[in-house]
Structure 1
Amino acid sequence: MESSSPAVPFPLLQTPIETNYRACTIPYRFETDNPRKATPGEIQWIDLFLNSVPSFRHRAETDPTVPDAPAKADKFAQRYTAMLEEMKKNPESYGGPPDCILLCRLREVVLRELGFVDIFRKVKDEENAKAMTLFEGVVKLNDAIEDEAKRAENLVRGILAGNIFDLGSAQLAEMFAKDGMSFLASCQNLVPRPWVIDDLDAFKLKWTQKTWKKAVIFVDNSGADVILGILPFARELLRHGTQVILAANDLPSINDVTYPELIEIISKLKDENGQLVGVDATGLIVANSGNDLPVIDLASVSPELAFMASDADLVVLEGMGRAIETNLYARFKCESIKIGMVKHPEVAQFLGGRLYDCVFKFNEV
């Protein structure tokens, strides 16, 4: 399940990691809580994962790569549900106490033990194909905005709109199954600013200075998210002379884009001269993050990514899992952006915002 090389800490985290860095943003319990009794926070989050079981079972039972998929999907639902219910009774079971990393990890373990490697592959392929047909139009709309600060805001809004395509959210999975999602409509329908965390104005000022030499972007979902949100943003950085490293998952998890999938997507979007709609893409690198979950613990990344990222002066974490549920308060040696949409009511409650509110956290050094 892990990258073939031993994992290492992400080198741009503030040190020492042991005291400065905790991956999970939301505290599920405190030192004074009884270790043998689930806290209200733990029960709330266990219930959130319980609510997602039916959508995962549905994706699994239609997986054409797994023999007897419907029967194995039922086994997945039964096993994972039983594990979650057991953690309510004994939070230390299965390596607890639980947090979002452990709850995601257990779900992947059960799926993979039953032979399910990538239950969202079909919908990822469909959404990637659809988004690629829209890519040129989206970047040309951005290019038509002459004011640098306004163009930066439009690119940020594109990332947030693309981040709606998240099948790890039970509510959004249901909406997507019924109606699909329009990227341009999503851009127009973002909740109005100010967002629950909103450092966009400070970022726009910094953006116009064009000072970053190398940026590392931890990407999130397939489809509109990476193709219509992240890649136009990365293309604009390239145009400013910034080298861009896109860090993608080693293995599939939900509808997150993987390292080999992202390489294929970019190769299809480049023209015969290696350009992305007129912008030289030789400075665009895809890296294997070493991660296999929709959240990420930056104390454990691939050594290849650590080597490539060591001299970057901008880190971008994108998506609810990587930038909000984990790493919202992570501190870096360089400037950083945490950007994503709030798609769980529990996260909105913790942040004091609204469901589908936006987070744009920009930290200058």
Structure 2
Amino acid sequence: MFLRHEGFLGALGAFMSYEKHGLGDLMVHQLVERFPMGSPYIGGNVHGPPLGDLNEKISWMEKFILKGTEITAPVPMAPPGTTSLGGFEVPSSKGDILRPDASKLNVGVLHLVPSLEIFPLLADPKTYEPNTIDLSDPGELEYWFTVLSGHLPDLVDKAVASEGGTDDAKRRGDAFARAFSAHLARLMEEPAAYGKLGLANLLELREECLREFHFFDAYRSIKQRENEASLAVLPDLLMEIDSMNEETRLLTLVEGVLAANIFDWGSRACVDLYHKGTIIEIYRMSRNKMQRPWRIDDFDAFKERMLGFGDNKLHQHKRALLFVDNSGADIVLGMLPLARELLRRGTEVVLVANSLTALNDVTAMELPDIIAEAAKHCDVLRRAAEAGGLLVDAMINIQDGSKGSSSSVPLMVVENGCGSPCIDLRQVSSELAAAAKDADLVILEGMGRCLHTNFNAKLTCDALKLAMVKNQRLAEKLIKGNIYDCVCRFEPGR
């Protein structure tokens, strides 16, 4: 039971089946847990391999939910009557609680992802823990489960709408909701069922379930609409920024990142705001409220690093990694103007975005088109985009020294290897790991990347963490503040 629960058997199979490396060459971060809903449930038994056909999977989910309402928690039993549950059998008693584990739900399958690497700028990968929220506290666990469950109906609506609202999309949406709810029910009763549990794991589980039922971009139309609205006002914002002196400009840019980070479809408080104004009205309101000091306010230290102090000369970073967050105002009116300022200072800029969609987060595939539109209004961005060639050429320069020095590429877009609102810096793409080797500044933006995870992460280079707190529980627990408080944490490199 212990071996099965800890996943040693699955890990051993992955080790032995991977021919390119011996056992000593593989690391635990290369084993990523996925959460498929598994095999057909018929009469209490699992028959055949995991389902690959979506229609069959949905049909099985519908049958599973019907039967699952009759299931209560499994009870221990003595050998030899053990099952694949690791010594548990399905009891004959009935109840109204859904217990997916009791029907031998196929969850927590280990997959080898050899392309994922440890972020080379981590100060101490062995002691690094990405999750900030401790879900071993039952009260904390119940709170976040309630948040995720409450957000589920709206998420299903967005997912179905993204697929045209067809009958097929509605059926898949219903199956997704049931699948995710089943996982939550299991974890609520047994938090360690899938291993060590953190908030990042819950958020990734939700995205995995969406993708399993073929919802690959639930916020597609919303992101497109918000990008267009933000790009329309970008020229005026850039003109305003360019009229400022250096010190005022730097503060305005950081304020702009914090203000634009208010747009987050993963936050119930922010979703409520959308009913009170347009995207631009909300952005301007947010900027007007940027009163210092912020809840965590290290801006003066960052300014001193960037602009120098007294007789110190202007500091120029060689390469900056900007971990971006949401589409719309967040990327267009927040992070791109900051990236532009760094480019003007002669710093190479690497925009790091999700490989897969998660809520309304911008992806690496979407960024080149956004930059191309923004470049129409900005010579700095246009020259940088032309010189770097964005994603493809940038990667050639990083990985193949014979085709040019990476220093000749001022602007790059890189996938982070992730499909979640959070990020585990022990599991990043090889492209990001390569780009990070010459970086001396990392900017982490957004609740997921620098509050839910990495709030306490220590790096070997300068690190700036920027976010607007849009969850009351997070505000109270993490920064001892209130909702919409701002975090500007600067940590000089060692």
Instruction: Calculate the TM-score normalised by the size of structure 2.
Output: 0.68
Compare 205-214 and 119-128 and name the one that shifted more: 205-214
Give the deviation of 1:131 after TM superposition. Answer: 0.9
CA contact (8 A) 1:3 1:250 kept: no
CA contact (8 A) 1:249 1:258 kept: yes
Pair 1:280–1:263, CA change in 2 (3 A): closer
SS in 1 for 2:464: strand
Match of 1:106 among 186, 199, 205: 205
Corresponding residue number in structure 2 for 1:156: 254
Taking the TM superposition and a 5 Å limit, the aligned residue runs for 1:42-53 are 42-53=141-152
Taking the TM superposition and a 5 Å limit, the aligned residue runs for 1:278-293 are 280-281=384-385, 282=387, 283-293=410-420
Q: Letter of the aligned partner of 2:131 in structure 1?
A: C
Q: Letter of the aligned partner of 2:215 in structure 1?
A: F
SS in 2 for 1:337: strand
Pair 1:340–1:3, CA change in 2 (3 A): farther
Corresponding residue number in structure 2 for 1:320: 447
Whole-Å separation in 2 of the counterparts to 1:250 and 1:54: 25
Q: How many residues align?
A: 351
Q: Which of the pair has more CA radius of gyration?
A: 2
Give the deviation of 1:224 after TM superposition. Answer: 0.4
Give the deviation of 1:47 after TM superposition. Answer: 1.7
Pair 1:108–1:313, CA change in 2 (3 A): same
Q: Letter of the aligned partner of 2:155 in structure 1?
A: F
Whole-Å separation in 2 of the counterparts to 1:97 and 1:48: 20
Corresponding residue number in structure 2 for 1:222: 327
Whole-Å separation in 1 of the counterparts to 2:197 and 2:276: 32
Ranked by relative contact order (alpha carbons within 8 Å, sequence separation 6 or more), the top structure is 1
1:294 and 2:421 matched:
yes
SS in 2 for 1:210: coil
CA contact (8 A) 1:66 1:115 kept: no
1:39 and 2:166 matched:
no
Whole-Å separation in 1 of the counterparts to 2:458 and 2:411: 25
1:80 and 2:208 matched:
no
Give the deviation of 1:171 after TM superposition. Answer: 2.3
1:347 and 2:474 matched:
yes
Compare 258-267 and 172-181 and name the one that shifted more: 172-181
CA contact (8 A) 1:289 1:302 kept: yes
Match of 2:278 among 180, 200, 203: 180
SS in 2 for 1:48: helix
1:71 and 2:71 matched:
no
Pair 1:345–1:301, CA change in 2 (3 A): same
CA contact (8 A) 2:351 2:412 kept: yes
Corresponding residue number in structure 1 for 2:118: 9
Q: Letter of the aligned partner of 2:442 in structure 1?
A: V
Corresponding residue number in structure 1 for 2:379: 275
CA contact (8 A) 1:245 1:287 kept: yes
Instruction: Calculate the TM-score normalised by the size of structure 1.
Output: 0.91
Compare 73-82 and 224-233 and name the one that shifted more: 73-82
Give the deviation of 1:65 after TM superposition. Answer: 5.4
1:364 and 2:364 matched:
no
Pair 1:290–1:157, CA change in 2 (3 A): same
Whole-Å separation in 2 of the counterparts to 1:142 and 1:278: 17
Whole-Å separation in 2 of the counterparts to 1:233 and 1:279: 16
Corresponding residue number in structure 2 for 1:252: 357
Whole-Å separation in 2 of the counterparts to 1:291 and 1:161: 25
Pair 1:65–1:252, CA change in 2 (3 A): farther
Whole-Å separation in 1 of the counterparts to 2:115 and 2:482: 40
CA contact (8 A) 1:160 1:358 kept: yes
Pair 1:4–1:285, CA change in 2 (3 A): farther
Pair 1:234–1:61, CA change in 2 (3 A): same
Whole-Å separation in 2 of the counterparts to 1:200 and 1:284: 25
Q: Letter of the aligned partner of 1:40 in structure 2?
A: G
Pair 1:175–1:124, CA change in 2 (3 A): same
Q: Letter of the aligned partner of 1:275 in structure 2?
A: D
Give the deviation of 1:174 after TM superposition. Answer: 3.1
Compare 226-235 and 70-79 and name the one that shifted more: 70-79
CA contact (8 A) 1:136 1:277 kept: no
Whole-Å separation in 2 of the counterparts to 1:99 and 1:278: 41
Q: Letter of the aligned partner of 1:269 in structure 2?
A: A
Q: Letter of the aligned partner of 1:51 in structure 2?
A: G
SS in 1 for 2:428: coil
How big is each residue's C-alpha offset from its partner over 1:196-234, in whole Å with a ceiling of 9 and x where there is no partner?
211011111222123211100100000000011000000
Corresponding residue number in structure 2 for 1:33: none
How big is each residue's C-alpha offset from its partner over 1:225-259, in whole Å with a ceiling of 9 and x where there is no partner?
00110000000000011110000110111000000
How big is each residue's C-alpha offset from its partner over 1:51-100, in whole Å with a ceiling of 9 and x where there is no partner?
2112211201212257522232222222222321322211123x144311
Taking the TM superposition and a 5 Å limit, the aligned residue runs for 1:204-219 are 204-208=303-307, 209-219=314-324
Whole-Å separation in 1 of the counterparts to 2:339 and 2:162: 33
Q: Letter of the aligned partner of 2:179 in structure 1?
A: R
Give the deviation of 1:108 after TM superposition. Answer: 1.2
Unaligned runs of 5+ in 1: 30-37
Corresponding residue number in structure 2 for 1:18: 126
Give the deviation of 1:114 after TM superposition. Answer: 1.2
Pair 1:14–1:72, CA change in 2 (3 A): same
Unaligned runs of 5+ in 2: 1-33, 35-110, 308-313, 388-409
